[in-house]
Structure 1
Amino acid sequence: MALLLLRGEPIGEVDAVLFDKDGTLSISEPMLHALATARVTHGLKLLGERHGPLHARQGSRARELLEQAYGLRGQGIDPAGTTAVACREHNLISTATALTQVGLGWPEALELSQEVFTVTDHLHGQGSASPPGASPGLHGLVQRLAGAGLRCAVISNDDQAGIEAFLLSQGMRPHFQASWSAEHTPRKPDPAAVLGLCEALGVEPDRCALIGDANSDLRMARSAGVGVVLGYLAGWSSPPPLDPSFPQLSHWAELGARQGDAITP
């Protein structure tokens, strides 16, 4: 058990800290931008090959719909959009939905979307040209939490392999005792996902902190009875529009832990 400190002020006693991955533990925006851009490009290419050349207006409309579906914003990603927040399956559905709006039936739209994802999946995760790095100050925070005797875990809509690859690449795997991925049932933002992860860690939800960069994460944690819920703002080029009722931080240096009389700043 340790006391968490936000900018030096106590915010709760906890036994474990649960982290979102993309946009919280990791700076994933460059990778996700490249992935979404490739999906748009391949989607338009396959659409033209399968259903005839697109005239200018039709092609422009298809591009606009796909970019909106993925949350593409110039060189950035909407931190509350599907690419940033949703699992692969939900991104696939949003792609197919966009394609139905340019005239495809649902079976054709879904089949084309699945082919687009098959072609571009290699751009996601550690195999991509822009693999995600750790958010600034994360290594120091993880060391501080471990020094205070706290357990750490990841709750993410990435698959298990993606979570493991990130933790291993950052040398942080020994400090994380559990994870809950898109392959678990239920997946986030179902509050039961938090309860399942807490059970795996052997801790009660009210003795945990959860840190995430999306309102869906924060509200999930609140519904699950998590004791300390924090919003993280610094994982994207545009700060996520978080509910102001949750405490927020912009750098891991703002978070500390105290065990007994010892302070880990």
Structure 2
Amino acid sequence: MALLLLSGQPIGEVEAVLFDKDGTLSISEPMLHALAKARVFHCGQLLAEHHPWVGSAGHHELKDLLERAYGLDGEAINPAGTTAVASREHNLISTATALSQVGLGWPEALELSQRVFSATDSLHGQGSLHRPLATEGLHDLVDQLARASVRCAVISNDEVRGIEAFLDSQAIRQHFQALWSAEHTPRKPDPAAVHALCDELGVAPARCALIGDANSDLLMARQAGVGVVLGYVAGWRSPPPLDPSFPQLRQWADLQARCR
């Protein structure tokens, strides 16, 4: 059990902290931006190869639809958009939906989207895309939580391999006792995902804190009965538009854990 303090003020006693990954644990924007751009490129390339009848007007429309669907904004990513928040499956569906808008039938749109994602997965596996870094001060916070005997877990819409690869790359895997991914059922933002993760940790939701960078995370935690719910706003170029009713963290150094 530890007392959490935000900017020196007590905010609750906890036995575990549940972290979102992208935009909270990790600075994922450069990688996600590169991934979204690669998907736009491969989608246009494969559309021209397999459905040349769409024509140049259709290609321009597709590019615009995909950029808006993925939340691409110049060199930034919309922190509330599908690339930042949604699962791989949901991003694939949004891609297929854009393709259907330029004239493809749904089976063809879905098949082409799967080809696009396979092509970009290959780039990711070869290390051609940016690798996410830890948000500033994360290592110090995780060490502090470990010293206070607070359990840590990840709840994310990334896949298991993506979560584990990040934790391993930062040498903090040993501090995380559980994870909940897009491959688990139910998945976030279903409050039942929080309950299932807490069951795995052996900690009641009321004895947990959840920290995330999306309103869907924070509302999920509130509905699940999590004791301390914090918004994290320092993981993106543009701060995510979080519900002001939740306390917000602008740097990890503002959060402290004291043994009880």
What TM-score range do you get, normalising by the shorter chain? over 0.9
For residues 12-31 of structure 1, the aligned pairs below 5 Å read: 12-31=12-31
Q: Which moved more, 1:149-158 or 1:125-134?
A: 125-134
Letter in 1 for 2:50: R
- The amino acid across from 1:49 in the alignment is E
Question: Which amino acid in the other structure matches residue 138 of structure 1?
Answer: L
Aligned residues: 260
Following TM superposition, by how much is the alpha carbon of 1:25 offset from its aligned partner in structure 2, in angstroms? 0.2
What secondary structure, in the 3-state scheme, does the structure 2 residue paired with 1:43 have?
Answer: helix
State how far apart, in whole Å, the 1-side matches of 2:100 and 2:248 are: 39
Q: Deviations over 1:177-216 (max 9, x none)?
A: 1100111101111111100100000000000000000001
Distance (Å, rounded) in 2 between the aligned partners of 1:57 and 1:95 = 18
C-alpha displacement of 1:144: 1.0
* Contact 1:126/1:132, CA 8 A, preserved across alignment: no
Q: Name 2:121's counterpart in structure 1.
A: 121
Distance verdict in 2 for CA 1:38–1:154, change over 3 Å: same
Residue 240 of structure 2 aligns to a residue whose secondary structure is coil
**Are 1:32 and 1:124, in contact at CA under 8 Å, matched by a contact in 2?**
no
- 2:210 is aligned with what amino acid? L
Find the counterpart in structure 2 of residue 243 from structure 1: 243
Give the TM-score of the pair, scaled to structure 1. Answer: 0.95
Q: Is 1:70 the counterpart of 2:70 in the alignment?
A: yes
- Asked whether the equivalents of residues 34 and 123 of structure 1 are also in contact (C-alpha less than 8 Å), the reply is no
Q: How much does 1:220 deviate?
A: 0.6
Q: Is the 8 A contact 1:153 1:176 kept in 2?
A: yes
Structure 1, unmatched stretches of 5+, are 261-265
1:134 corresponds in structure 2 to 134
Residue identity matched to 1:104: L
Aligned to 1:215: 215
1:86-125 matches, within 5 Å, as 86-124=86-124
Q: CA deviation at 1:128?
A: 4.4
Q: Which residue does the alignment assign to 1:196?
A: 196
C-alpha distance in structure 1 between counterparts of 2:198 and 2:100, whole Å: 40
Q: Pick closer, same or farther for the CA change 1:230–1:162 going to 2, 3 Å.
A: same
* 1:49 counterpart = 2:49: yes
Judge conservation of contact 1:3–1:258 (CA < 8 Å) in 2. Answer: yes
Which residue type is aligned with residue 256 of structure 1? Answer: Q
Give, in angstroms, the shift of residue 122 of structure 1.
Answer: 3.0
Distance of aligned partners of 1:256 and 1:19 in 2 relative to their CA distance in 1, 3 Å threshold? same
What is the distance in 2 between the residues matched to 1:141 and 1:55?
Answer: 53
Report the 3-state secondary structure (helix = DSSP H, G, I; strand = E; otherwise coil) of the residue aligned with 1:13. strand
Deviations 1:3-49 (A, max 9, x none): 10000000011100000001000001111111100100010111111
What is the alpha-carbon root mean square deviation over aligned residues?
1.3
CA distance in 2, matches of 1:57, 1:3: 59
Which residue pairs with 1:231 in the alignment? Answer: 231
Percent sequence identity over aligned pairs: 73
Which residue number in structure 2 is paired with residue 173 of structure 1?
A: 173
- Name whichever of 44-53 and 109-118 sits farther off: 44-53
Name the aligned partner's letter for residue 101 of structure 2: Q
Q: Normalised by the size of structure 2, how large is the TM-score?
A: 0.97
